[in-house]
């Protein structure tokens, strides 16, 4: 009996820590995200001259009516650069770190050998101008206050549907404390999956996989690796908490057909043209 009581207490504590925000009024604000597929890093085609996280990729997404997901990193001179990787080897072919470089230098490097350059978040916000839903991923490491503060400031006068998300629960919590009106999402996945090559310790992987910081960060939605849609964690989020969920990053129409609606409320896709728009591109 004692063991059963202890086990129930542990389960209860875990569920308490995992629980996200389930505010009905805030959840209703996701309708535009649910009704527009979200193009991961814009509607890019790296192999054919449309680099990820480029103004061209964002314009193509807007022209097709897709929402946009993008990444922001802080430069050495305090600018919000729209780029996924910390190092530019992959997208620009140079061994340069974003956080150690000024934006003036960063913008001199071509993206994927094209005429496109790394944009600033302010440029992207002006381009989107509320025409499609926008998800901003905060690339925050141990130091997150500055990038969170600058992102929040950049969104002060933005009138479109927007939310922020991050793998860092501390960044998500920052927005809860300082700009609670902005919708916020907790990015997560199975951190033990060898595909992701994570280097965190076992306890940290467990905390991040189970999202045991939700009780403090109170995310409005959970953005989870779509491959793990049937994991116990996602079952709990969907069926016990009734959380808003986003699946990243779906790579085929079959993924959307199988998972949209029943497993995920929001579709984040990449690398193909969803069926309803397939006659426009690719």
What is the rounded distance in angstroms from the CA atom of residue 257 to the CA atom of residue 265?
12
pLDDT number for residue 276: 65
Residue 119 CB burial class (10 angstroms; 0-12, 13-18, ≥19):
buried
Share above pLDDT 90 across residues of the chain, in percent, rounded to a whole number: 90
Residue 271 has pLDDT above 60, yes or no: yes
> Mean pLDDT across the stretch 183-192?
97
- Report H helices in 19-120: 24-27, 31-35, 55-64, 89-92, 103-106
With beta carbons less than 8 A apart as the criterion, state whether 266 and 237 touch: no
Q: Residues 91-104: what's their mean pLDDT?
A: 97
The arithmetic mean of pLDDT across residues 56-77, rounded, is: 97
Do strands 80-82 and 134-138 pair parallel, antiparallel, or not at all (unpaired)?
unpaired
Mean pLDDT, rounded, for 55-71: 97
Q: Which residues contact 161 (CB under 8 A, 6 or more apart)?
A: 29, 32, 33, 130, 133, 134
Active site residues: 40, 84
Q: What percent of the chain has pLDDT over 70?
A: 98
For 198-241, write each residue's pLDDT tens digit.
Answer: 989 999 999 999 999 999 999 999 999 999 999 999 999 999 99
What's the pLDDT at 280? 41
| Spatial contact of 130 and 158, defined as CB atoms under 8 Å apart | yes
Sequence-distant (6+) residues with CB within 8 A of 106 are 75, 81, 88, 96, 98, 118
Q: What is the pLDDT of residues 129-182, one digit of tens each?
A: 999 999 999 999 778 999 999 999 999 999 999 999 999 999 999 999 999 999
Dist CA 122 CA 136 (whole Å): 12
pLDDT tens digits, 99-128: 999 999 999 999 999 999 999 999 999 999
Q: List all residues 6 or more positions away from 109 whose beta carbon is below 8 Å from its beta carbon.
A: 88, 92, 93, 94, 96, 117, 118
Q: What is the pLDDT of residue 277?
A: 57
- Per-residue pLDDT tens digits for 253-264: 999 999 999 999
In which residue are the tokens 């079959």 written?
A: 254
Largest Cα–Cα distance of the chain, in whole Å?
Answer: 69
- Residue 7: per-residue pLDDT: 87
**Averaged confidence pLDDT in the chain:** 95
d(CA 185, CA 154): 18
């Amino acid at each position: 009996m004692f063991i059963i009581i202890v086990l129930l207490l542990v389960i209860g504590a875990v569920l308490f820590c995992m629980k996200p925000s389930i505010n009905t009024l805030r959840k209703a604000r996701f309708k535009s995200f649910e009704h527009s597929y979200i193009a991961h890093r814009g509607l890019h085609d790296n192999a054919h001259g449309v680099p990820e996280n480029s103004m061209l990729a964002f314009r193509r997404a807007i022209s097709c009516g897709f929402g946009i997901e993008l990444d922001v990193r802080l430069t050495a001179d305090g600018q919000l650069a729209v780029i996924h990787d910390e190092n530019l080897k992959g997208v620009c072919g140079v061994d340069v770190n974003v956080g150690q470089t000024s934006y003036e230098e960063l913008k001199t490097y071509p993206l994927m050998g094209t005429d496109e350059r790394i944009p600033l978040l302010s440029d992207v916000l002006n381009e989107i101008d509320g025409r499609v839903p926008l998800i901003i991923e905060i690339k925050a490491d141990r130091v997150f206050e500055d990038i969170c503060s600058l992102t929040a400031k950049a969104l002060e006068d933005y009138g479109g549907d927007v939310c922020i998300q991050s793998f860092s629960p501390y960044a998500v919590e920052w927005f809860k404390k300082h700009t609670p009106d902005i919708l916020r999402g907790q990015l997560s996945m199975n951190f033990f999956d060898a595909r992701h090559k994570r280097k965190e310790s076992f306890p940290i992987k467990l905390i991040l996989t189970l999202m045991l910081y939700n009780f403090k960060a109170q995310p409005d939605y959970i953005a989870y690796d779509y491959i793990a849609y049937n994991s116990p964690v996602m079952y709990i989020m969907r069926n016990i908490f009734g959380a808003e969920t986003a699946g990243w990053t779906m790579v085929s129409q079959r993924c959307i057909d199988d998972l949209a609606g029943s497993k995920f409320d929001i579709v984040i896709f990449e690398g193909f043209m969803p069926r309803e728009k397939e006659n426009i591109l690719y």
